[in-house]
């Protein structure tokens, strides 16, 4: 069974009302269970170069690596060879990490070689659905939320100066709404030779709705409104995406706004995934 049979995926991106070009990039591979979003930054139009490089390279490499990993599993991989020992799916976690490291290398090298790309980088949030689990990797302040049984939960923690100030109590949540430090990142992809990916694993339930978004949404629309919108459009993901983007623009549209929505329609075990079925067919 392809994961496209168990996941509904909708993607939408918009330039907003202020920017003259879109530096966000989004992608998904429904069969492999991959969703990804990046929000670029840098000099004139180089931010969109960084985000496109990240999204295209990670999606393609991760899909291919998943197929190879399934073949290698039957040969046998020792747990000692794999990082992320606290995760149940540490093999897939390593594939995500490797793809992100290579994307970071490519973006950083391009920024060093081409003057017009100097200083470019991007945020990143990606999800891999496997065996009734969602592996989530992120860098920066693009977010992943989950709506479960009507309640919205932010699953990622912003890598930003503002969030650090909130954590240690330097400012209140109300002060944070008007802070000039909202968009100062403490981590980004491609700006340094090495990058630190935060990677976590969450159990998935049928009827969960997952939202990946750039800060063009989260800065413009309160979480309470996002929650009520997703609840109102539970059976219409495209309508939900369009409504969220429209509200961000109605509230000022100060940045590009991108959303990726995923609804889980049924349970999915490892043996039902597309690469296992392909492997079994090849045997």
Where in the chain does DSSP place strands (E)? 7-14, 24-29, 34-41, 121-122, 124-130, 133-139, 143-148, 151-154, 198-203, 209-213, 257-264
74-104: pLDDT as tens digits: 434 445 455 666 788 999 999 999 999 999 9
- Predicted structure pTM score: 0.89
Set out the domains of the chain in order of their start, with CATH numbers.
3-278 (3.60.40.10)
Query: Which segments of the chain have a pLDDT < 70?
Result: 1, 43-44, 70-85, 162-182, 270-283
147-180: pLDDT as tens digits: 999 999 999 999 877 666 666 666 666 555 665 6
């Amino acid at each position: 069974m392809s994961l496209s049979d168990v996941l509904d995926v909708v993607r939408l991106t918009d330039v907003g009302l202020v920017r003259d070009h879109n530096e966000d990039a989004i992608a998904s591979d429904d069969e492999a269970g991959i969703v990804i979003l990046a929000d670029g930054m840098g000099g004139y139009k180089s931010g969109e170069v960084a985000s496109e490089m990240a999204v295209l390279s990670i999606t393609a490499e991760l899909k291919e690596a998943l197929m190879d990993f399934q073949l290698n599993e039957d040969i046998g991989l020792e747990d000692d060879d794999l990082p992320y020992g606290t995760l149940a799916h540490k093999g897939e976690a390593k594939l995500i990490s490797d793809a992100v490291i290579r994307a970071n290398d490519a973006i950083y090298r391009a920024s060093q070689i081409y003057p017009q790309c100097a200083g470019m980088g991007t945020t990143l949030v990606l999800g891999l659905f496997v065996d009734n689990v969602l592996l989530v990797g992120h860098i920066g302040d693009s977010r992943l939320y989950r709506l479960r049984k009507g309640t919205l939960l932010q699953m990622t923690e912003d890598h930003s100066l503002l969030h650090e100030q909130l954590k240690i109590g330097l400012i209140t949540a109300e002060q944070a709404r008007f802070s000039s430090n909202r968009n100062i990142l403490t981590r980004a992809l491609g700006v340094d030779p090495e990058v630190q990916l935060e990677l976590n694993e969450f159990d998935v339930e049928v009827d969960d709705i997952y939202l990946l978004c750039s800060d063009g949404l989260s800065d413009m629309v309160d979480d309470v409104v996002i929650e009520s919108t997703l609840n109102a459009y539970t059976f219409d993901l495209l309508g939900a995406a369009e409504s969220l983007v429209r509200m961000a623009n109605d509230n000022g549209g100060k940045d590009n706004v991108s959303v990726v929505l995923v609804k889980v329609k049924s349970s999915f075990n490892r043996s039902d995934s597309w690469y296992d079925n392909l492997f079994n067919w090849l045997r």
